[in-house]
Structure 1
Amino acid sequence: MSTPFYVSPQQAMADRAEYARKGIARGRSLVVLQYADGIVFVGENPSRALHKFSEIYDRIGFAAAGKYNEYENLRIGGVRYADLRGYTYDRDDVTARGLANVYAQTLGTIFSSAAEKPYEVELVVAEVGSEPEGDQIYRLPHDGSIVDEHGSVAVGGNSEQISTFLDQRHRDGMTLAEALKLAVQALSREPGGGEREIPAERLEVAALDRTRPQQRKFKRIVGRQLARLLDTEAAGSTPTDAPSDTEDGDSTDGTDRADGTTDSTEETEK
C-alpha cells in the first residue's frame, strides 16, 4: 500500500491563497473613492452591457474584480439577501456591514474547503450615509476577511501601486470631477511607472450620490455627463449642473463584464 501524499495545512492554505491572488491580478483594476457628495466607482471597461459595478440596495453599491461567473453569483446572492431582509424587517436594516459579513462567511467557507477551489474574486461593498462621516467602504479579499477602508480603495490588477498613488493624493471634500480625475490618473499608472491614456468610452463610472432626492442613491455616469466631467477636469474647473445622462442602477441589473485576460477562458476577467 502506497503512502498518501501529504501537504501541511499551512502549505495548502498558502497555495490556495496564491492561486486566488494570481487570478484576481489578471483582472483590470478598479477604484472606489469618497468625495464630498458620496462615493464614486471608476474602472476600465469597454463593454456597455456588462458592468463592473452595480446597485445592491438603496444606499449600497457593489464592485468586484476577478472571475466573472464567481462574483456575479455573489452579486445575485447579495441582492436576494438585501431584498429579503428589507422586506422582512425594514429597509434601514439593510446595511453594508451586514452584507459584508454575509459575503465574508461565504468566501471564507469556500476558501477553507478542500472540496472546491477558492473564488478568484475581490469585492468592495460601499454604503453612502446622509453625511460623509456615515460613509462605509469594505474590501473583501478572496479569503473572506473584511477590511474597513477609508477614503479610497483599489482592487484587481495593479492594485498595490494604485492604492499607494491614491493614498498620497486623495483628500476629504473632493468634488466629483476631482475624484474622477484622480481615479483615472491612478488607473492610468503602468507597473513600470509610466502612464497610458484611457479614453472616456472605455471607462465605467457609477456613484452613490447622497444628494439625490430619490431613496435609491446609485446612478451610472455615462455619455455627455461623463464627457463633461472629463472636459472639466482638463480645464481644472468645477462642472455646472446639466441634464443628466446617467442611468439609474437597479437591484436586478449589474451583470458585470468578464474582464479580458491573458487566459483564454471567457469567465476570467481582463
Structure 2
Amino acid sequence: MFTPYDWQEGIGNRAQYIEGKLAQGAPVFAVSIPEGILVFTFRRQARKIYEIYDRLLFAGIGQQSDVEAIRMGALEFASREGYNRSDEDVTIQRVATAMSAPLKRAFSDFSASPLVARSLFAEVNATPDEDLYYALDYDGDYTMSRRISVIAGTQEVVDASTERLQKLDVSAPTESLMASLQETWVHVLNPEGHRSTEEVIQGLSPEAVLLERSNLRENRFRLLTPEEF
C-alpha cells in the first residue's frame, strides 16, 4: 500500500537526485541595462540561451535533452499563442506558467523520469524597471523578478551572484559590463580563490546575448561576438 509518507519520501528522493545532477550547473546571469537585457554564461558545447519569441528569451541549465524539451515546449506555446491570439498576448508570464504545469506533472509522476533542468525566461520591455524574469525550477515552481535574475546549480551560487550583480553599474559600456559579469561568474564558482581563472573556465566558452530594447531591428535577439566581450 502506497502511503502519504511513501509519497513524500519518494518526492524527497527525486528532489535530492535532481539537485545532485544540477549542482555542477554553470550559472546564467541576466541583467537589465539601458540597451535591453544582457544574458551571460559559460558553456561547453551546446548553447544555453535562445530566442523563443519577439521580446522573449529562454536560458536553461541541466541535462541537455531536458533543457531542449522545455525550450521546444515554450517555443511551440509562444508560436501557437501568437497565431491564435496576437503578438501582444505572448507574454513571459503566459509562457512560464504554461511550462510550469508539465514540469509539475513530470516531477510527481513516479512512473516517468523527471526533467533535470532549471530555466530562465525573460521579457524585455520599454524600460529596465519593466523587464520581467521568471526562474522556473524542475518541480514547476517559479519565481518572478525584475532587473536581475540568476539560475544556477545551487541556491548558494544564486544568492552570491545576485548580491554581486545588484552592485553592477548598468550604465557602464557593454565591454565593461561583460568584464564584470565574467569576473562575477568566476568568483561565485571559486569564492575562496583556490583556483586561477584559467582553471575555472578551462574547456568552457563564453556565451552572451543582448535582447535589445529598441524595435528598430527586425530581430531584437543578438548573439554577442567575442570582440564585444
| Residues 1:20 and 2:18 aligned together | yes
Greater CA drift, 210-219 or 77-86: 210-219
**Alignment CA distance shift 1:204-1:12 (3 Å):** same
Q: Identify which of 79, 82, 98 aligns with 1:83.
A: 79
**1:175-186 → structure 2 map (5 Å cutoff):** 175=172, 176-186=174-184
Equivalent residue, structure 2, for 1:71:
67
**Cα distance in 2 for residues equivalent to 1:40 and 1:158:** 22
1:225 Cα deviation (Å)?
2.8
Q: Map 1:136-175 to 2 at 5 A.
A: 136-157=132-153, 160-171=156-167, 173-175=170-172
* 1:84 Cα offset (Å): 1.3
Q: Which residue pairs with 2:208 in the alignment?
A: 205
Tell me by how many angstroms 1:96 deviates. 0.5
Whole-Å separation in 2 of the counterparts to 1:53 and 1:81? 18
In structure 1, the residue matched to 2:128 is: 132
Residue in structure 2 matched with residue 193 of structure 1 by the alignment: 192
Alpha-carbon offset, residue 206 of structure 1: 0.7
The answer to whether structure 1 residue 51 and structure 2 residue 54 are counterparts is no
> Cα 1:46–1:121, aligned 2, differ >3 Å: closer, same or farther?
closer
What's the Cα RMSD here? 2.4
C-alpha contact (below 8 Å) 2:31/2:39 kept by paired residues = yes
Output one character per residue of 1:142-195: Cα deviation in whole Å (capped at 9) or x when no partner: 110010123323223355235324324424743433432332112102345215
Matched, 1:222 2:221: no
CA distance, structure 1, for counterparts of residue 2 and residue 81 of structure 2: 46
SS of the residue aligned with 1:143? Answer: coil
Matched position secondary structure for 2:111? coil
**Structure 1: how far apart are the matches of 2:161 and 2:26?**
16
* Letter of the 1:174 counterpart: S
Q: Which has the higher helix share?
A: 2
Residue number among 92, 95, 99 corresponding to 2:91 in the alignment = 95
Residue 100 and residue 211 in structure 1: after superposition, are their counterparts in 2 closer, same or farther (change >3 A)?
same
How far the C-alpha of 1:215 sits from its partner, in A, is 4.7
The alpha carbon displacement at 1:212 in A equals 4.6
Between the aligned partners of 2:13 and 2:154, the Cα distance in structure 1 is: 21
Amino acid at match of 1:202: S
Q: Which stretch of structure 1 is more off in the superposition, 209-218 or 154-163?
A: 154-163
| Greater radius of gyration (CA) | 1
Percent of residue pairs identical: 23
Give the structure-2-normalised TM-score. Answer: 0.86
Residue 109 of structure 2 aligns with which residue?
113
**Number of residues paired by the alignment?**
221
Measure how far apart 1:138 and its partner are: 0.5
- Aligned partners of 2:48, 2:192: CA distance in 1, in Å? 25
AA partner of residue 227 (structure 2): R
Choose from 40, 43, 46 the match for 1:42.
40
Kindly provide the amino acid, as one letter, of the partner of residue 22 in structure 1.
Answer: G
State the shift of 1:43 in Å.
0.9
**8 Å contact from structure 1 (residues 42, 204) kept in 2:** yes
SS in 2 for 1:188: helix
